[in-house]
Each structure stands twice: as structure tokens, then as C-alpha cells.
């Protein structure tokens, strides 16, 4: 059994329209909050996507520069090997020229001695 004092403590019964209006307000607020959050997330997504695209372009440019530098390095190394081979050939040629000059000097000295000996023998015969 309920006593008359229990009804006064509970307060007036709430009307269904007031409850519906509060629920609708909460739903509208939640929908608006969700919409704002979604728009903010989309804005952040577009910003991050733009940054990613910029970084992708920088990466592509850096890769191309790396490729060019690597090709230059390879070419430079090949030229250094070729230069070393040519330097070796030059040293060999210089040594050969020096040896030929020494041989020419020795041959000239022998020829001069033979000529002197020939002249001396002619004088003896004459």
C-alpha cells in the first residue's frame, strides 16, 4: 500500500513530451557533436594526406638524386680505374724510352769506339 506522503516525495509525474524533448535534444546534440568531430577528422585527414603527398614527392626527388649521384660515382670509379691503367702504361712507356735511350747511347759509344779503332788501323796501314 502506498501512503499519501510517498506521492509527494516522488514529485509530479513527468510528461512523455518533456522526456521526448530531452531525448531529442541529446540526440541532436550527439549528432551535431559527431558531425563536428567527423568534419575535424576529415580536415586532419586531408592535411595529413597533403603532407604525405609532399613527403612522397621529396622522397621521389631524393631517390632520383641518389640514383644520379650513384651513377656519377660509378662513372668516376670507372674513370679512376682507367686513369690508373693509363698511368701504368705511361710509366711502362717512359721506362721503355729510357731503356732505348740508354741502348742508343751505348750503341753510339760502341760505334764511336769502332770508328776510332778503324781510323787508328787506317793510319797504321797508311
* 82 lies in some domain: yes
The answer on pLDDT for 17 being more than 90 is no
The values of phi and psi at residue 60, to 5°, are: -60, -45
| pLDDT per position as a tens digit, 36-52 | 999 999 999 999 999 99
Which domain range does residue 37 map to?
A: 18-125
| Number of domains making up the chain | 1
Please give the mean pLDDT across all residues of the chain: 89
Q: Render 11-29 in DSSP notation, one character per residue.
A: -SPPPHHHHHHHHHHHHHH
Q: Is residue 8 part of a domain?
A: no
Exposure on the CB side of residue 55, measured as CA atoms within 13 A: 6
Amino acid at each position: 500500500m502506498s501512503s499519501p506522503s510517498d506521492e509527494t516525495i516522488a514529485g509530479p509525474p513527468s510528461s512523455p513530451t518533456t522526456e521526448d524533448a530531452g531525448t531529442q535534444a541529446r540526440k541532436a546534440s550527439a549528432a551535431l557533436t559527431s558531425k563536428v568531430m567527423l568534419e575535424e577528422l576529415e580536415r586532419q585527414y586531408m592535411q595529413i594526406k597533403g603532407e604525405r603527398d609532399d613527403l612522397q614527392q621529396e622522397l621521389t626527388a631524393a631517390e632520383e638524386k641518389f640514383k644520379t649521384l650513384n651513377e656519377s660515382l660509378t662513372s668516376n670509379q670507372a674513370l679512376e680505374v682507367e686513369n690508373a691503367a693509363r698511368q701504368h702504361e705511361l710509366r711502362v712507356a717512359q721506362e721503355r724510352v729510357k731503356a732505348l735511350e740508354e741502348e742508343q747511347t751505348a750503341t753510339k759509344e760502341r760505334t764511336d769506339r769502332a770508328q776510332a779503332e778503324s781510323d787508328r788501323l787506317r793510319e797504321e796501314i797508311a
